[in-house]
Structure 1
Amino acid sequence: MFTGIVQGKATVQAESQVGRNKRLEIVFPAGVMLSQQLGASVAINGVCLTVAEIGHDVLTFDVIDTTLALTNIGLLQTGDVVNFERAAKMGDEIGGHVMSGHIMTSVTVSRIEKIEESVHIRFTTDRQNEVDARRYLFNKGYVGLNGASLTISDIGNDWLEVSLIPETLRLTTFSSLTVGDKVNLEIDAHTQATVDTVERILKERGIVLP
């Protein structure tokens, strides 16, 4: 479980292909992972990954092909910077919203607008994607983007927009995004459960949604 509060940025030190999978070595800020253990979970750009090896401020992760195809982890190269969050423990404060690290799909940066100290980023959803997340997205709803718990500030038929404050920009990789970049999207589990339940009940009663 994760809270959606990104704890900082880390850098890909090395990446290699292992069959259809990928192995990532990621360098973290000094001391951040001192108590980390093999088999522990860490969210990298919002993707829940398992620690396979531990070095000095370096963790190694093995990523399977399905995750590579679904997320932007497959695009990572040596030198790229990622968001990270260690798994939450019982009793930790949930500063964002509860997240699983299970990505539903990816969205594409289509517009970046800076207004005074804040930045507004628009993401386009892919209508051709076999996973359609649009029915789970609504204005002022929660969404996970590259591991950060954010509130949707505006939404259209095929896009959503978030507004970022300076502290979020400082702690995350959002400040370095450019138009065309792919970003991982995780739907709020409570929203998904509610929508799926309502749709199932309506279908059972023969009610067809527009």
Structure 2
Amino acid sequence: MSAPSSSIVSTSAQLRTFLSVIRPDSTIYLDLEGKDLSRHGTLTIATILIQPENVLGVVDVLRLGETTFSTKTNDGRSLKSILEDPTIRKCVWDVRNDADALWAHFRVQLHGVLDVQLLENASRPRGVDKRKLSGLGNAIKNDIKLGFWDRERWMRTKNEGRSHMSRDIFSSRPLALTTVKYCENDVVHLPALYEYYITNHPGLAGRGPRGVTSPRS
């Protein structure tokens, strides 16, 4: 698959244009970032890859604030309504903190979610320990066919972003290129992982999206 068309989405006009790409049959690959992402931390960036349109947006939640989720397209859809629509599939790697932060900070409750991390766990052969969840890096290393240099580039981007985490890079503006690349990195291979688990483990094909229940506090 070719690299997606990517952009930073930091104005309401840009957000309307970006959301208008999403169709009823699109699949959204989602990752959220923030300082200690959860109800107790912050949510400052939403990275969204839309397939099969192959369009990626790094949405600046810190700059857009509440309008991230309330801005509407010409046909009346908002990011909130899209994320809460059970008929639009969203694929996330470890949805727990993402869902917690969305509900706590913006009262958005995810529906139509497939947790790709849980697909990886369910795909393990009988007899293999399933008590521990795999990290995204291990899944990319072991489960999809990347060339050596593509894999090294992915890991280098991941490690470079991690090395700056103590500086709260997701709240620093303007967004550094390394931060943008780190965010894109976390979603760009999710489609291949999803296809790998579904294709190579037919028993998982019937596992449809479901809602995520977040404590309403």
CA radius of gyration, larger in: 1
TM-score, length basis structure 1: 0.30
Q: Which structure has more strand as a fraction of its residues?
A: 1
Q: TM-score, normalised by structure 2?
A: 0.29
